[in-house]
Amino acid sequence: MRHIVWAPWRGTYITGEKPVSACVFCDIFKSPDDKNNYLLYRGNHTFIIMNLYPYNNGHLMIVPIRHTADILTLDKNEFEETTVLMRRSIKAIKETMSAEGFNVGYNLGSAAGAGIDAHIHLHIVPRWNGDTNFMPVISETKVISEHITDTYNKLAKFFCIMEGL
């Protein structure tokens, strides 16, 4: 049985030009177009972006500005800012989306499931009681209940007031 799920934001990616550079995260940070890149916050050492292929609404990633694939190379400032932004991201999602729980973690290397293993990033995935329904179990299909731009607009308001970390 074939199942179809409408995900309009994926069409632009599928039919659009693919970046030719070595790193999509580096390209996003270098671009001034935060809204179209779903970049929510620029810190001194890291930045927060939304995952274009989320596990759930509000799935964020905290990415070091410096290109590195090895978590052991993060310096103290990068690691500390990642932790501060993780806590602030969780607070933002709780306040704007009423999340009831979170999965937080790194996928270090392709063997660990990293889709982009050349530039490490911390995932923050909001969860709600009952958010796992019959769709993934029966048809290997995930339902995302809100358009990514709507979620970005909700969260962007929160991150605009976070200046001065």
The residues that are catalytic are 121
Q: What angle (nearest 5°) sits at the alpha carbon of residue 124, between those of residues 95 and 54? A: 100
Give the single-character DSSP code of 111: G
* The residue type at 164: G
- Per-residue CA distances from 79 to 5, 120, 146 (Å): 37, 12, 31
**In three state form, how does the secondary structure of 44-82 look?**
CCEEEEECCCCCCCCCEEEEECCCCCCHHHCCHHHHHHH
Among 63, 54, 139, 132, which residue's Cα sits nearest to residue 93? 54
Our separate counts of H helices and E strands in the chain read 6, 5
Give the single-character DSSP code of 32: S
